[in-house]
Structure 1
Amino acid sequence: MDPWALSEPWWPAAVIADLTGSWRGGASLYAQVAEDLGTPGAARSPGDAGAVAPAFRLAGLDFYPVPRAVRDSGRRWSAYSPLDYWRDPVTASPIRALDGVTIACQHTVERVLLRDGRAAGVRVVRAGETDPVDIRADAVVLAAGTIENSRLVLRSRVNGGTERRRLSGLSDHIVQGFTLTLPAGAVDPAAALPTGHFVAPGDDEHRSNLFLSIGELAAGSVRIEVSTMGEQLPNERSFVEHRSAPDGTTSVHVGAALAEADEALVTEQQRRLGDLWRSLGPRYGTPATPLVFGGLGTWRPLSGDLVTYASALGTVNHEGCTIRLGDGLTERHEVVDLPGLYVLGPATFPRLGAANPSLTTLALSRRLAGILAGPPWEGIGIA
């Protein structure tokens, strides 16, 4: 999480302290998760580059290697998975037994079960079957994506008799960029930048991180991709809503809209992309013709192999901010009006920031696990 986004009054002070300062007298949650990943550099956010020298400077910006949580075994690489606790991430051979843990794959959670106004389990249906199965639990943790978590919370409220059928503030990352492919031999090695993935961190004014990836493709051609990932702020016109029809059927509706501040961010992103393009073009022998962008969700071919794009909201990035810590969700990750129901993931973020949310999601998962491991909870249902 970018330092400028992980701040009060958006985030509760106690959560900030646990993530960045100390968790129960030990290292911070960020540091603990980074150690588990085996990538200490992941403990720092894109905006915390003080301990690492920039790889190069371009268009007045310092670019740093992108922190990545991958493990390289020589011939293969693997990304992190929670299952790594039980099995080797490369060979898949068991590390320890799944004592007391049951993983129910290919099941869809229909709804959260309630008893006396509090969560008491989940109702699931196995793929290809129609008969539901009830799984009882003292506490239920929703750890799916933002839309699915929101659906289950909304349906639980409806089943509990509340009329609160909308979760507003749905946010996503606003992403724009351009790609360029150059044929073999077209790049002057003396002028070329190093290959790899790099980032120029943003700040609270720009609310965007600027990424530059350079790689060599087959037969010596070079692929350049520049993208900027920015923060959509929560607003009332972006929402997840539960609706009931006269025939008794229900459905979930999603609304996505940019606020005025987000529209200004789109314009600023395009300006910064243009500045970078004007610095890149001469290095690679390509005229830096003006970049032209379409609306969100479009790709626009320009001259040669230059293409600009703008991702649609909710397609390739990270939705969040519908069930927010400190606003609908207690600092213990419990839904305020549904005791025993807990939520994880970017849905719980008070604001999204511009960084990839995975490290914060893992850190908050560890936090909730520690909370639930104490009394009085002894059994946990996971949906």
Structure 2
Amino acid sequence: MVIVGGGLAGLEVARHLAALGVDDVLVVEAGPARDLLHINSAHDPDQALRTFLDPTGDPHFQRSWTSASAPHYAGSAGLRRRLGGRSLYWYGAALPVEDWALTDWPESVVTDLRDSWQGGRPLYERVAADLGVDPAPLVSQQLALQVGEFRLVRTPQAETRFGGSGRWYAYSPLDHWRHPVTGAAIEGPPGIRFLCGTEVLSVDIGDGQARGVQVREAGSNGAGRRITADSVVLAAGTIESTRLAVQALQVADPGRTPRLDGLTDHIVQGFFLRVRDSADADAADRGTRGEGASRGPRDVAPGSYITACDDGVRSNLFVTVERPEPGVVQFDVRLTGEQLPAAGSHITCEPSGEFPWRTTVTAELAPPDRDVIERQRTVLGEVWSLLAADFGLAAEPLVFDDFDHPVRTNAFVLPEAIGAEASEGPFTWSSLLGTEDHEGCTLRLGDVLDEHHAFAAVPGLYACGPATFARMGAANPSLTTLALARRLAHILAAAPDRQARPATATATATVDA
């Protein structure tokens, strides 16, 4: 079995396959197998944030497509080609897709995620427990910050702090192969091999089925080689997995349009505020109240807080609080909302005589998405007014840029950007589509894929990751990615042809020169 992509989804599928006794898994990753630590484990907080939001200095950052909708899916939108992928960059937010978005998912998948899986606890609860986060709905978790009528709880984050210097790391499946702090190799799950620095050009199709992949060394213009396998799992990130899917579907059906619709990213905008609080309590008194105490903006401990907005906003409100020096409080207030899958946003390939095909990304905000943008701005204005009243500031209305051509993007929260401003805010900003690393919905379960994560048109070909989401919802995608990866691993391990193979059988994934 070949898994294309060594990021969060692909590695999680691989490790669960190994736990189920599958011993013939080959993970093919375009990037190198070096620098395997999470950015917040490897760097100080400012440098880690800079690497995440301004990837120009990251040697692993690449963009393999052309954007027809720049500045969306351009600039800092791209891939992190390295073993571990984006799992080495995420900040650990672990949230389930909301019930109102799950209504468009296949019923069997929803049941497994939310209600019960294999006769026991649902996948969301099991994965949350493994990550050490509270599986309870946000509304039932302990109140941590009150801003007017907004009731916020601590953001569930799959992170581990260490060293007493503010360092931490978020979960990565690589934690099962290397120590997350020292990077030292540990004995990982057996039966998994890695082929890194190798680009997958195409899925190899024979007799209408996936028979393996065509690969070549990354960055090389040389001839490719063939890896044969009984099944192929696409886990290379939404855009790369979609390119491979478009090519495979076109080979299976030459009359098919070489395009897949429904590309989404989260709609994200917010404001940054730096407040000098003359009434600031002694820093030694911060955080000494009982955990059950309700805290307002003046005395809340530093950290990330969240509340869900109503269905009409289709967004989660995040408030991040920092205290960089005595008497100063910084607020990063943002809303993360859902872009709906629609035909106007799509990934198109140009068929040619050789692979990979040239790939173009088109992004369009439909009227319901524009409505989310306006509703988010109303909520942000309310939060700003409440903060201003609490700190005795003049609450002039927030001024927002054109969402499609913002002066300030999410990179504004970098220390050098904030420090260059003469005033203390509020400063509004928005994220361009493609820059949140949350893109998905092109290989939707129940549409392009069946409920078993399989391409009906190409037997033996599967997919995982956010590309398979039927709808994104407002939640960060990682918890669902991990849950679906576990689900897919069990489906693959239980396949009849695999059950019939002796456990000691020779690996079926072979490399032909």
Q: Given the two structures, how large is their TM-score scaled by the length of structure 1?
A: 0.90
Q: Secondary structure at the match of 1:103?
A: strand
Question: Which amino acid letter does the alignment assign opposite residue 257 of structure 2?
Answer: R
Equivalent residue, structure 1, for 2:98: 3
Residues 54 and 121 (structure 1), Cα distance of their counterparts in 2 relative to 1, 3 Å cut = same
1:187–1:284 contact (8 Å) kept in structure 2: no
Q: Secondary structure at the match of 2:372?
A: helix
Equivalent residue, structure 2, for 1:316: 436
Of 470, 474, 492, which aligns to 1:354? 474
2:146–2:297 contact (8 Å) kept in structure 1: no
For each residue in 1:200-244, what CA deviation from the matched residue of structure 2 results, as whole angstroms up to 9, or x when unmatched? Answer: 212322201111111012576432110001001111101111123
Does residue 298 (structure 1) correspond to residue 390 (structure 2)? The answer is no
1:173–1:230 contact (8 Å) kept in structure 2: yes
Does residue 26 (structure 1) correspond to residue 134 (structure 2)? The answer is no
For each residue in 1:70-116, what CA deviation from the matched residue of structure 2 results, as whole angstroms up to 9, or x when unmatched? Answer: 01234342211112223332333444245322112222111111111
- Residue 133 of structure 1: how far off its partner (Å): 2.6
2:297–2:387 contact (8 Å) kept in structure 1: no
Residues 6 and 237 (structure 1), Cα distance of their counterparts in 2 relative to 1, 3 Å cut = closer
How far apart are the structure 2 equivalents of 1:146 and 1:234? Answer: 13
1:199–1:209 contact (8 Å) kept in structure 2: yes
Residues 128 and 50 (structure 1), Cα distance of their counterparts in 2 relative to 1, 3 Å cut = closer
Q: Give me the CA root mean square deviation.
A: 2.4
Does residue 111 (structure 1) correspond to residue 217 (structure 2)? The answer is no
Residues 369 and 191 (structure 1), Cα distance of their counterparts in 2 relative to 1, 3 Å cut = closer
Equivalent residue, structure 1, for 2:272: 179
Question: Which amino acid letter does the alignment assign opposite residue 487 of structure 2?
Answer: R
The structure where strand makes up a greater share of residues is 1
- Residue 6 of structure 1: how far off its partner (Å): 4.4
The structure where helix makes up a greater share of residues is 2
Matches within 5 A, 1:195-344: 195-218=302-325, 221-244=328-351, 250-296=357-403, 297-299=405-407, 304-344=424-464
Equivalent residue, structure 2, for 1:376: 497
Q: Secondary structure at the match of 1:324?
A: coil
Equivalent residue, structure 1, for 2:231: 139
Residues 125 and 50 (structure 1), Cα distance of their counterparts in 2 relative to 1, 3 Å cut = same
Question: Which amino acid letter does the alignment assign opposite residue 192 of structure 1?
Answer: R
- Return the structure number with greater relative CO, CA threshold 8 A, min gap 6: 2
Question: Which amino acid letter does the alignment assign opposite residue 99 of structure 2?
Answer: W
How far apart are the structure 2 equivalents of 1:333 and 1:160? Answer: 18
Of 84, 91, 113, which aligns to 2:182? 91
Residues 269 and 128 (structure 1), Cα distance of their counterparts in 2 relative to 1, 3 Å cut = closer
How far apart are the structure 2 equivalents of 1:352 and 1:191? Answer: 30
Equivalent residue, structure 2, for 1:148: 240
- Higher mean C-alpha displacement, 350-359 vs 72-81: 72-81
How far apart are the structure 1 equivalents of 2:161 and 2:353? Answer: 55
Alignment length, in residue pairs?
Answer: 374
Q: Secondary structure at the match of 2:246?
A: helix
How far apart are the structure 2 equivalents of 1:380 and 1:228? Answer: 47
How far apart are the structure 1 equivalents of 2:430 and 2:374? Answer: 12
Residues 249 and 152 (structure 1), Cα distance of their counterparts in 2 relative to 1, 3 Å cut = closer
Equivalent residue, structure 1, for 2:28: none
Residues 125 and 186 (structure 1), Cα distance of their counterparts in 2 relative to 1, 3 Å cut = farther
Question: Which amino acid letter does the alignment assign opposite residue 141 of structure 1?
Answer: V
1:299–1:308 contact (8 Å) kept in structure 2: no
Matches within 5 A, 1:11-90: 11-37=105-131, 39-41=132-134, 43-44=135-136, 48-75=137-164, 76-90=167-181
Does residue 165 (structure 1) correspond to residue 254 (structure 2)? The answer is no
How far apart are the structure 1 equivalents of 2:395 and 2:160? Answer: 38
Equivalent residue, structure 2, for 1:120: 211
How far apart are the structure 2 equivalents of 1:72 and 1:280? Answer: 29
For each residue in 1:11-52, what CA deviation from the matched residue of structure 2 results, as whole angstroms up to 9, or x when unmatched? Answer: 111101111222212322112212222x131x34xxx22431
Q: Which runs of 5+ in 2 are unaligned?
A: 1-95, 282-295, 409-420, 502-506
For each residue in 1:267-322, what CA deviation from the matched residue of structure 2 results, as whole angstroms up to 9, or x when unmatched? Answer: 11000000000000122343221101112251358964331111111112411111
Residues 20 and 341 (structure 1), Cα distance of their counterparts in 2 relative to 1, 3 Å cut = same
Q: Given the two structures, how large is their TM-score scaled by the length of structure 2?
A: 0.68
